[in-house]
Amino acid sequence: MRVSSFALMAWLLPFSASFAPSSQSLRTRTRTRTCDATVNTKVNTKVINGLSVSTQQDDNTNMMTERILVDQGKIAAPKLTFHPSLPEGRGKGGVRASEPIAALEVIARIPRSLIVATCDSPARAVAATAEMDAENFSWAADLCAATLVSLFPDPADNDDDDNGSISAKQSWIAGWEAGGWGTDGADLGPPDVNWGSKCVTGSLLSTGSDNDENVFAKFRFPCHPVIFRAGTGLAMLTGAEDQKALDALLLRGKTYRGMRDALLTLVETPSDRKGSLRERRAWDVADVLSRMLARATTLQLGEEDGVEEMAFAVVPVHERLAHCDEKGENSKLVAAGEDVLLVATRDILEGEEITRDYVQAPRLDGDTTEGSLRLLSQFGIAYI
């Protein structure tokens, strides 16, 4: 049963936590680029996270940027409508069929140039991850690096950008909203609560270190108190064991710290918040990682030497679909040449929401979470 994160707040009133998702999208300052309108539609110039983009008026940044890609003809999705997602959806949901869709019908056609994929990692991303210790390298680091390069493109990246895909991809990523549990300060409780958001500098992922066990043992905490508190809230909301919920947060933090130093240089112009230049770059890496993990999927993108080439990717439209119910997802991604197709897996009624199965999404190495704990910790989806 899917439940609102607001309804679950009552579970933790003594704990004083607030689980309302934040509407704030990825906070970055990047080069200013304009997406040129290619269709007759009313647009306005609006600054999104430091980006100047041509937009339709709307308060939901993620929905707005993806609908613009459709309106501009960069993505073909003639039978889809885009609506603001519900607050508890954390940027997911609101993609519906505007008319009946038959099984195996192509719902959306997305150019491969717009997606972020590990097999298409730019040279700068590959060079950055090459600086990582081998034991820390993972698909998450690879895809996070590719995402950062797309968010902070180098002028040389525009050499063959004849259709504006680089700037379009940049504004789409900048519009990503929320991520897994603890990405937003609201997950950690009201602003005045002890060991909540006021005790976090930059990001929950950058709070504490791998030596937390030794540092906080004298206080009888297994880790940083904010992480301990966040893990307790995560366990209460999902019905999971306290240690399993805490382990999920600790693993995400360890994964982040393993890639942080190597990826810092990819953040050319960090977000405008208090802290040194290095700290602000580190926090932006944490933000991108959390939001990427909440959107990632696997996708076969061709063959190499007769072997299927599976890639980790984030795909426009698909990344913001709602989680499916017990009937299963009604759409699936299929690569087709220079495009990635979103195909209906069954008949879809007019007005029906297009869904994906987040359980099938890739997980961090070492992640053994299941059910509600997995959905809330990695994707921010309240579902029990």
Beta-sheet strands, E only, within 210-317:
297-304, 307-314
Average pLDDT over residues 187-208: 87
Amino acid 178: pLDDT:
86
Span 123-130, average pLDDT: 95
Return the pLDDT at 161.
61
pLDDT at 274: 85
Asked which of 69-83, 219-233, 258-272 is least confident by mean pLDDT, the reply is: 219-233
Confidence of residue 159 (pLDDT cuts 50, 70, 90): low
Cβ–Cβ < 8 Å for 315, 108 = no
Least confident of 30-34, 335-339, 345-349: 30-34
In one-letter notation, the amino acid at residue 123 is A
Cα Rg of the chain, angstroms:
20
Using CA atoms, how far residue 216 sits from 85, 161, 193, 195, 226, in Å, is 40, 51, 20, 14, 11
The pLDDT, as a whole number, for residue 177 is: 82
Instruction: State the residue for tokens 């040129």.
Output: 36
Q: What tokens does 18 get?
A: 């607030």
Of the two residues 216 and 308, the one the predictor is more confident about is: 216
Cβ–Cβ under 8 Å, residues 15 and 195? no
The tokens for 121 are 């990692």
pLDDT per residue over 40-58, tens digit each? 333 333 333 333 233 333 4
Inform me whether the pLDDT recorded for 31 exceeds 50: no
Cα–Cα distance measured from residue 331 to residue 162, given in angstroms and rounded to the nearest whole number: 30
Side-chain half-sphere of 355: how many Cα atoms within 13 Å?
Answer: 21
- Mean pLDDT of all residues in 286-296: 96
Q: Average per-residue pLDDT in the chain?
A: 82
Comparing C-alpha atoms, which of 335, 380, 336, 341 is closest to residue 358?
Answer: 380
The yes-or-no verdict on residue 98 having pLDDT over 70 is yes
pTM across the whole model = 0.84
Sheet of 307-314: strands edge to edge?
116-117, 307-314, 297-304
pLDDT at 203: 86
Given a cut of 60, whether residue 59 has pLDDT beyond it is no
Closest CA to 26 of 120, 150, 139, 113: 150
Please report the domains of the chain, with CATH numbers, ordered by start residue.
7-379 (3.90.1410.10)
pLDDT surpassing 70 at residue 20: no
Q: How would you label 294-319 residue by residue, b for 16+ Cβ within 10 Å and e otherwise?
A: bbbbebebeeeeeeeeebbbbbbbbb
- pLDDT, residue 33, reads 30
